[in-house]
Structure 1
Amino acid sequence: MGYAQRKVANTASKLAHVSSSHLRALPPKHSLLPAGKAAPPAVFDAQAWAASQPPPRSTLAAFAHRIGLGKVVPSVDVIEQACTHPSFVHLHNQQHPDQPLPATNASLATLGNSLLGLFATEFVNSSYPHLPTRVMKAAVSAHVGPTTCANLAREMGVTPILRWHRTPANLTQGAVLHIDALASVPRALTALVYQYRSLRSARRFVEKFFFSREVDLRSMMKFRDPKQTLLATVQKFGRERPISRLLKETGRLSNSPVFVVGIFSGADKLGEGFGSSLKMAEYRAAEDSLLRLYLTRQPPHLLQLPTSTFPDAPGNVFEATGAESAYSPVSLGDSEVLYGSAGRAGVRTPGARSRAAEAEDDLEDYVL
C-alpha cells in the first residue's frame, strides 16, 4: 500500500461512521433550504452532524459481545457511555442544544486508569523482582500506557462507535487528539468490569487484553558504564569481585578477529560477550551479566499478586464478601544499584573515582 492509500485509509478511520438505517430523519430539517428563501439561514456541517449522531444499538451490542462483555454490562447504554469522550459534550451542545447532555466516560476512565496502573505495577514488580525503578516505570507504561490503550482500542474496533470532538489546546488544558479519545475507552471498559463484577474479574480482563502482549525489556535498559555498574552490583549482593576471562578467540592477527570474554564471580559465570576487540567483548559481557540479573523472571506458576487476597465476589472491594485466597509474599529484590546517584547529568560524585579505578583494574584482568 502506497503513501497516498495509507493516508486515505488513516483519515477515513478517524471519521464518524453513521448508518442511515437507524436515523429517523435523513437529511435533517435544518439542512434543507426553507421554502421561499434563496439561501439557508446557516451553513450545514455534514461531518459535525454525523459525528453527533449516536451509534446503532446493534453495533454497540456486537462490540460488547466481541470483547466478552455482553453478559457483564446490563445494557448497551453503558457501552455507549464508555465510548463517549468528555470532549463530545461541546459538539453535542452545538448540534442538539435542546437535548440533555450525554453520559461520558470521564469518571470511568479515571477509575480504569488507576486499576490499570495497580495491576500493571504489581504484575511487573512480582514478575521481575530485581528490575530497576526507572525500567519498571517504563515497563508499566509499555503495558498500559496511552499508546498501548489506543492501539488496543483500534484492535477492538472502537473507531466506528467512538464519540469525541477534536479540541485545541488552551490555557487550562491540552489539546484533545484522536489517540487521547481512543485511550479512554479501554480504561472505561476496565472500570465497567470492576463495577459490575469484581476486582479479580477486572484483573483477568486486563491480563487477557494487556499482559498477553510481549514487551521487550532489554531495549529499556541502558548502562553508561556496565563494568562499574556490575562491580557495584556484585558488592551490593556480597559476592566476590568480578574477573574477566578470555574464553575463545579466532583471527587475532587478521583484520576481523573475534573474542569471547566471560565474567566470573568466584566459580560462577555471570555472563559472556563477544566483539572484535577485548574491550568490546568485555563491555558486552558486563552488560549481559547485568541483564541476566535484572531480567530474572519469576516462574508463572509461582507468581502471586497482592490483589489475589480479595474475594472473587460481585461488588467493589469494600462491599464484596467471600472467601479470600491465600497469599504468601515473595522475597523483595533490590531495585536500585549503588552507582549513578549523581542524577541525570551523569557527573560522578566525589570519591567515586577510586571505585571506578578499582573496577578498571579488576575487570581488565584477563586469564588466557
Structure 2
Amino acid sequence: MKRIASQQMRRSLLSPRPDRILSSTFSNPLYRRSFGLSTRLRQDAPVTAAPAVASEPVLDTPSTAADSASEALRASRKISAKLSALHARLSLPPRFPTQTLAQCLVHPSADRRANANNSSLAVIGQDVLAYYTAEWLLCNYPRLPMQILFAAQYAYSGPRTLSAMREEWGVEPVAAPGIEVDPGLLQFTRRQPGNAMAEGGMARLKDATSADNKPATRRSNEQWNYRRGVSSRIVYDNQFGDLQQNGSDPATAPQNPDAVTIEDASASFVNAVFGALYLHAGAQATQAFHHAHILSRHIPLHTLFDFTHPTRDLARLCLREGFEPPVARLLSETGRHSRSPVFVVGVYSGSDKLGEAAGSSLDEARVRAAAAALRSWYLYTPPRENIVLPSQSSTAQWKPQMIDIGEIVT
C-alpha cells in the first residue's frame, strides 16, 4: 500500500506561516530595490520587516479588511486560555500549533473560507481514523462478518462516539459563531428544530418544507434500493455501511453551509484533529493518539450479533470446516417441574464442546448454545505476538495476517 505523502498534503492544506511569507517577500531584490534597501542582507542581524511594512502603502480594499480581521483572529488565538488548556489536555506534541487547533474548532457553517475552517482537515482525519480502526478490527478479529464489522466501526468512530469524545475533551459549543467568540470553543451554525416557526410566524419549518425536493429524494432512494446488499455496502457505501449522499462520500460532498447539528459539528472537529495531527506529527503520533482515544474504549462485540437460525448456521459451519455434525447435550438442570426451570445445554462436535448456554426450556438452551458457539467462532483472535498492523510495518517486522474464507451463507 502506498504511503500518504504527508509533506505535500501539509503544504497544500495548512496555511503558510506569516514569518515565512514575510521573510520571503523582504528578501526579494525587486521589493528591496523599490524601497531603496540594500540588496545584500546583513548576516549579523536578523531580518525584520518592520521598516518595509511601515513604508508600504495601505489600500482600503476588501482584501485588506479581511486580512486585518484574520490578523485580529490570529492574535486572539494566541492568548486564548481555553485553547492552550485544550492543547495541554489532549497531550498534543509541540509540533501541533495552537493556530491549527483553533482552525479545527471552526466548522464550515461558521466560516466558509477554506483556509479558516476544518473542512479539508476533517476529510483527511476521517480517512485516517477509518483506516486505523478498520485495520485493527480486521487483524484482531479476522472472522468478523461484514455487518458486524460495520457496526463495530460505527461504535468505535461513529458520529455519536466522536460527539461523546468532544464532551470528554471539555470542548463547549457556542450558541452562535462570531469573531468575538473565544477560539477555544466549537463554532458552528446550529440547525433549528423541525417544529420551529418559519420567517413571518405563519407556518412551521417542518410544514414549510418544499415539496419539490421529495420526488428527487424518492428517486434517489429507489435508485439505491436494488443494490443494498452486503457487497454493495462494501463497494458503494461509506466506512459504516451507510448510504452515501448522491453516490459520494458525505465527507467529500458539499456540506450545507447554513446549519448543522451539534453531533455533525463535533464529528467534524474530532476528525480535523486527527487530520491535523497526521500532517504535523506524522503517522506514529497519530497511531498513539488513536489508540489512546479510540481503541481504549471497551466495545462488547458479542452483543452485536443477532442470529435468526443459529442451529442451521452452526450445522453449515461444521460441514464446511469438516467437523463432525453438532450434537446438543443436556449438562445440568434444576426445577424441571417448578415455575422457573433452568436447563444448561452444551453443543458438541465429537468430543469438542463448541458452546454452552442456559435457558428456561430445552429448545431455548439449545438455540442459545448454538449462538454462543457461532460467536466464539466469529470472535476468534490470533495470538497477540503474531498481530502486526499494516501501518506498523515500518517499525516492526512484518508478519502475514490471517485472512478468513468468509462467513456462513445460508
- Name the TM-score class by shorter chain: 0.5 to 0.7
**Match of residue 134 from structure 2:** 121
DSSP-derived class of the 2:111 partner: helix
User: TM-score, normalised to structure 2's length?
Assistant: 0.60
The CA deviation at 1:249 is 1.9
The CA deviation at 1:254 is 3.0
**In structure 2, which of residues 108, 112, 120 is the aligned counterpart of residue 86 of structure 1?**
108
Q: Following the alignment from structure 1 to structure 2, what is the Cα–Cα distance between the partners of residues 133 and 334? A: 12
1:231 pairs with 2:231:
no
DSSP-derived class of the 2:163 partner: helix
**Match of residue 66 from structure 1:** 89
Change (3 A) 1:59 1:253: closer
Look up the equivalent residue of 1:337 and give its one-letter code: I
DSSP-derived class of the 1:233 partner: helix
1:92-131 paired onto structure 2 within 5 Å: 103-131=116-144
**In structure 2, which of residues 148, 158, 171 is the aligned counterpart of residue 158 of structure 1?**
171
Look up the equivalent residue of 2:107 and give its one-letter code: H
1:57 pairs with 2:80:
yes
The CA deviation at 1:229 is 1.0
The CA deviation at 1:299 is 4.2
Give CA-to-partner distance per residue, 1:166-209, whole Å, 9 cap, x none.
24699685651111111111111111111012222211111101
Change (3 A) 1:84 1:325: same
The CA deviation at 1:325 is 3.1
1:326 pairs with 2:397:
yes
The CA deviation at 1:119 is 0.4
Q: Following the alignment from structure 2 to structure 1, what is the Cα–Cα distance between the partners of residues 107 and 359? A: 53
DSSP-derived class of the 2:345 partner: strand
Give CA-to-partner distance per residue, 1:324-351, whole Å, 9 cap, x none.
5321122212331122xxxxxxxxxxxx
1:284 pairs with 2:368:
yes
Give CA-to-partner distance per residue, 1:69-102, whole Å, 9 cap, x none.
15131x3211110111100026xxxxxxxxx886
Q: Following the alignment from structure 1 to structure 2, what is the Cα–Cα distance between the partners of residues 250 and 157? A: 52
Equivalenced residue count is: 264
1:147-296 paired onto structure 2 within 5 Å: 147-159=160-172, 161-167=185-191, 176-296=260-380
User: TM-score, normalised to structure 1's length?
Assistant: 0.67
Q: Is the 8 A contact 2:145 2:406 kept in 1?
A: yes
Q: Following the alignment from structure 1 to structure 2, what is the Cα–Cα distance between the partners of residues 261 and 101? A: 62
Higher relative CO (CA 8 A, sep ≥ 6), structure 1 or 2?
2
**Match of residue 6 from structure 2:** none
Q: Is the 8 A contact 1:85 1:104 kept in 2?
A: yes
Q: Following the alignment from structure 1 to structure 2, what is the Cα–Cα distance between the partners of residues 165 and 125? A: 37
Q: Is the 8 A contact 1:129 1:335 kept in 2?
A: no
Q: Following the alignment from structure 1 to structure 2, what is the Cα–Cα distance between the partners of residues 183 and 334? A: 34
Q: Is the 8 A contact 1:240 1:265 kept in 2?
A: yes
1:134-153 paired onto structure 2 within 5 Å: 134-153=147-166
Q: Is the 8 A contact 2:140 2:382 kept in 1?
A: yes
Change (3 A) 1:325 1:253: closer
Q: Following the alignment from structure 1 to structure 2, what is the Cα–Cα distance between the partners of residues 186 and 299? A: 32
Q: Following the alignment from structure 1 to structure 2, what is the Cα–Cα distance between the partners of residues 198 and 237? A: 43
DSSP-derived class of the 1:159 partner: coil
Q: Which runs of 5+ in 1 are unaligned?
A: 1-52, 91-99, 311-323, 340-368
Q: Following the alignment from structure 2 to structure 1, what is the Cα–Cα distance between the partners of residues 325 and 392? A: 40
The CA deviation at 1:54 is 6.3
